[in-house]
A and B are shown apart, each in its own frame.
Chain A
C-alpha cells in the first residue's frame, strides 16, 4: 500500500470509531437527561398551570411521545444542524452554541498556545540542565502549577491585576464587534489561568521525554557523527520527544474545554460554560444536551486529529491494530 493509501485507510478506521463513540455519547447524554428531575414545561408554566395547557406545551417542546422517538427526533435534527429550540432564550440552540463558541473556542486556543509556548521550552531547559538548580526550580514550579486550583488562581489574578494594579478588566467580554484587541485582552487572564496546569504538565512530559531520548541509540549515533550535544538534542531528541508531548496536548485539550466551563463563570465570560450552567439551573435540558454533545464532539475530534497526525509522522502506527 502507498503511504497516502495507508494513512487514508487508518483515518477511515479511526473515523468509524469516532462516529460510533459520538453516537454512544449522544445516547448516554439523552438517557441521563431523561432521568433528570424537573419537567421543563411545568417549570415554564409555573405551579398553577392548566394540565391541558401543560400537555400542549410538552408536545410543542418535543417532550411528548415515547423516549426512543424523541431521541430519534433530536439526533436526526442534530445531524441536519438543528439542535432544537431553547425555551428560556426562545432561540435555536445551534445559534446559541455558535455564538458562545466564538468566546470559548478562542479562549481554549489561546490557553493552548500559552501552555505550549511556556511548557515545552521550560521542559527542554529543565532536561538540558538536568540535576542542576534550574532543573530543580522548574520542577518545583510545575508541582505548584499542578496543585493550584485554577479558579483560585483566577480569584488571585483578578485581585492583583484589576484591584491592586487597576490593569485589566476584571471580567466580562466586550464582544468581537468591539474590536479584536479589547476582546483578546479580556480573554488573556482567563487563558493564563487555564494554561497554568497544562503548561506544568507539558513541561514535565517534555522533560522526561527528552531525558528518555538522550539515552537512546540514535543519540549515540548523532554524537558519534560529530554533532554537538545541543545540535543532537535539537535535531534528534527534540523531534522524538514531541510525540509524547503531542499525545498529552491532545488529551489535555479536553481539560482546557472543561476547565473553561468553570473559569468562564469566574470571569463572567459569555461562553459555552456559562450557557450550560444557566441552562442546568433553568432546566433548559435541550440546551444542556446540545452543549454537552458539542463539547464531546470537540474532544473526540481533537483526539482523532492527533491520531492522524501520528500516522503521518510515525509509519509504525499506520498498520491495522
Chain B
C-alpha cells in the first residue's frame, strides 16, 4: 500500500464521490431543482459555495445530486455489462470450437460500432432517459467483459486443477462456475473499475447531448450543456460540474490501476 500512492488517492476520491452521492439523498444545501430567479448567476459566496446558474439553482447542490445520477447510471450499466458479458465469455471458453468462434464474431460486431454511436443509436430507438442510458452503456460494456472472461478462462481450462475437476466428473458449466469464475474475479473487478470510469464519462456525454437522464433529474452532463451559453458571464457554472467529472473519473482510474498492480505483482515490477 505504502508504495502505491495512486491507489490511496484513487480509493479516497472514489469514496468521496460515493459519500457525496449518498449525502445528496439526505441533504443538499438547497433544493437542486428549485428556481430562485432573483438569485440567478451569483458568483461563489458563503451562501452558494459554487455559485448559482441562470435559474438561480445552487450549483453545489446540483453537483451533489449529479454525482448520484452519474454513479448510479454507471454502476447499473457496468453491472449489466458484467452480467451479460462474463457468463457469455465463460460459456464461449467452455464450449470451444465453432461455438466459441461464433460467439467471438458476435462480440466483434458489437465492437465494430463505435461505443458512443451505439449508445446514440440505442437512445434514438428507446428515447432519452436514465434507464435507456444505462442500457446503451451496458450493451457496449458487455463485449469487453465477454472477451476478458473468455481470454482468461481459456488459459485456465488448460490448467491442472481444471483437468482434475474434469477427471472428477464435473460438467463444463459447473467447472466454469466453481473453478474458473473465482480465478478471474480479480481481473473482472479491475476491468469493472476502468469500465465504471468510462461509464461516468459516457453518462456525462450522453446527458450533455440530451440523451441521458431527463430533466429535472440533475446531471453533470446537462449542467455543462446548460452552462455553455452562459460560461462567459458565469464561468463557475461550467467549471464545477466539469471538475466533478474529472475528479470522479480520475479517482476511478487511479483505483483501477492501483488494484491491478496490487493483484498482479509482475506488472508492478515493470513500472
Residues of A at the B interface (CB closer than 8 Å) are: 17, 20-22, 24-25, 28-29, 32-33, 35-37, 143-144, 146-149, 151-152, 155-156, 158-159, 163, 208, 211-212, 215, 254-255, 257-259, 261-262, 265-266, 276-277, 280, 288, 292, 295-296, 299-300, 303
Q: Which residues of A contact B204 (CB under 8 A)?
A: 149, 151
Evaluate contact between B254 and A143: CB separation under 8 angstroms. yes
Q: Which residues of A contact B114 (CB under 8 A)?
A: 254-255, 257-258, 295-296, 299
- The stretch that binds A, out of B58-66, B185-193, B225-233, is B225-233
Determine which residue in B205, B235, B270 has the highest number of CB atoms from chain A within 10 A of its CB, and name it: B205
Complex formed: what's the CA distance from A31 to B227 in Å?
A: 37
Evaluate contact between B209 and A262: CB separation under 8 angstroms. yes
User: Contacts A151-B208, A155-B228, A254-B114 hold; do A143 and B121 have CB atoms under 8 A apart?
Assistant: no
Is there a chain A Cβ closer than 8 Å to B98's Cβ? no
Q: Which residues of B contact A159 (CB under 8 A)?
A: 231-232, 235, 238
- Name the residue on B nearest A163 (C-beta): B232
Q: What string of 1s and 0s marks CB contacts (under 8 Å) between B116-129 and chain A?
A: 11001110110100
Q: Which residues of B contact A280 (CB under 8 A)?
A: 120, 124
Q: Which residues of A contact B271 (CB under 8 A)?
A: 211
Complex formed: what's the CA distance from A23 to B40 in Å?
A: 53
User: Contacts A144-B250, A212-B270, A277-B209 hold; do A296 and B232 have CB atoms under 8 A apart?
Assistant: no
Evaluate contact between B242 and A299: CB separation under 8 angstroms. no
Residues of B at the A interface (CB closer than 8 Å) are: 105, 108-109, 112-117, 120-122, 124-125, 127, 197, 201, 204-205, 208-209, 221, 224, 227-228, 231-232, 235, 238, 241-242, 245-247, 249-250, 253-254, 270-271
What DSSP secondary structure best describes chain A's contact surface?
helix
Complex formed: what's the CA distance from A300 to B271 in Å?
A: 33
User: Contacts A147-B250, A152-B245, A155-B228 hold; do A258 and B115 have CB atoms under 8 A apart?
Assistant: yes
Q: A21-B105, A151-B204, A156-B242 are in contact. List 15 more A-B contacts (CB 8 A).
A: A20-B105, A21-B112, A32-B121, A147-B197, A211-B271, A212-B270, A258-B116, A261-B117, A277-B209, A280-B124, A288-B121, A292-B121, A295-B114, A299-B113, A299-B114
User: Contacts A156-B242, A211-B270, A255-B114 hold; do A28 and B109 have CB atoms under 8 A apart?
Assistant: yes
Determine which residue in A37, A149, A212 has the highest number of CB atoms from chain B within 10 A of its CB, and name it: A149
Complex formed: what's the CA distance from A252 to B57 in Å?
A: 38
Pick the contact of B224: A35, A151, A299 (CB < 8 A): A151
Evaluate contact between A147 and B253: CB separation under 8 angstroms. yes
User: Contacts A276-B120, A296-B112 hold; do A155 and B270 have CB atoms under 8 A apart?
Assistant: no
Q: Which residues of B contact A21 (CB under 8 A)?
A: 105, 108-109, 112
Evaluate contact between B238 and A143: CB separation under 8 angstroms. no
Determine which residue in A155, A158, A265, A296 has the highest number of CB atoms from chain B within 10 A of its CB, and name it: A155
Q: Which residues of A contact B109 (CB under 8 A)?
A: 21, 24-25, 28
Nearest CB of A to B204, in Å: 5
Evaluate contact between A156 and B238: CB separation under 8 angstroms. yes
User: Contacts A17-B105, A151-B208, A155-B242 hold; do A143 and B253 have CB atoms under 8 A apart?
Assistant: yes
For the complex of A and B, 6 pairs with smallest distance between CB atoms: A258-B114, A152-B242, A258-B116, A147-B250, A147-B249, A254-B114
Complex formed: what's the CA distance from A208 to B254 in Å?
A: 16
Complex formed: what's the CA distance from A151 to B202 in Å?
A: 11
Evaluate contact between A149 and B112: CB separation under 8 angstroms. no
Nearest CB of A to B90, in Å: 22
User: Contacts A262-B205, A280-B124 hold; do A149 and B242 have CB atoms under 8 A apart?
Assistant: yes
Complex formed: what's the CA distance from A20 to B104 in Å?
A: 13
Q: Which residues of B contact A212 (CB under 8 A)?
A: 270
Q: Which residues of B contact A292 (CB under 8 A)?
A: 113, 117, 121
Pick the contact of A261: B116, B232, B247, B270 (CB < 8 A): B116
- Name the residue on B nearest A34 (C-beta): B125
Evaluate contact between B270 and A208: CB separation under 8 angstroms. yes
Complex formed: what's the CA distance from A318 to B247 in Å?
A: 44
Complex formed: what's the CA distance from A159 to B241 in Å?
A: 16
Q: Which residues of B contact A28 (CB under 8 A)?
A: 109, 113
- Name the residue on A nearest B106 (C-beta): A24
Q: Which residues of B contact A151 (CB under 8 A)?
A: 204-205, 208, 224
Nearest CB of B to A296, in Å: 5
Nearest CB of B to A282, in Å: 11
Q: Which residues of B contact A143 (CB under 8 A)?
A: 250, 253-254
Complex formed: what's the CA distance from A299 to B113 in Å?
A: 8
Complex formed: what's the CA distance from A159 to B239 in Å?
A: 11
Q: Which residues of A contact B242 (CB under 8 A)?
A: 148-149, 152, 155-156
Complex formed: what's the CA distance from A155 to B271 in Å?
A: 35
Nearest CB of A to B154, in Å: 14
Q: List 15 A-B contacts (CB under 8 A).
A: A17-B108, A29-B121, A146-B250, A147-B197, A149-B249, A155-B228, A155-B238, A208-B270, A254-B114, A258-B116, A258-B117, A261-B116, A266-B228, A288-B124, A299-B112
Evaluate contact between A33 and B117: CB separation under 8 angstroms. no
Evaluate contact between B250 and A149: CB separation under 8 angstroms. no
Q: Which residues of B contact A255 (CB under 8 A)?
A: 114-116
Nearest CB of B to A197, in Å: 9
- Name the residue on A nearest B124 (C-beta): A280
Q: Which residues of B contact A147 (CB under 8 A)?
A: 197, 245-247, 249-250, 253
Evaluate contact between A152 and B120: CB separation under 8 angstroms. no
Nearest CB of A to B10, in Å: 10
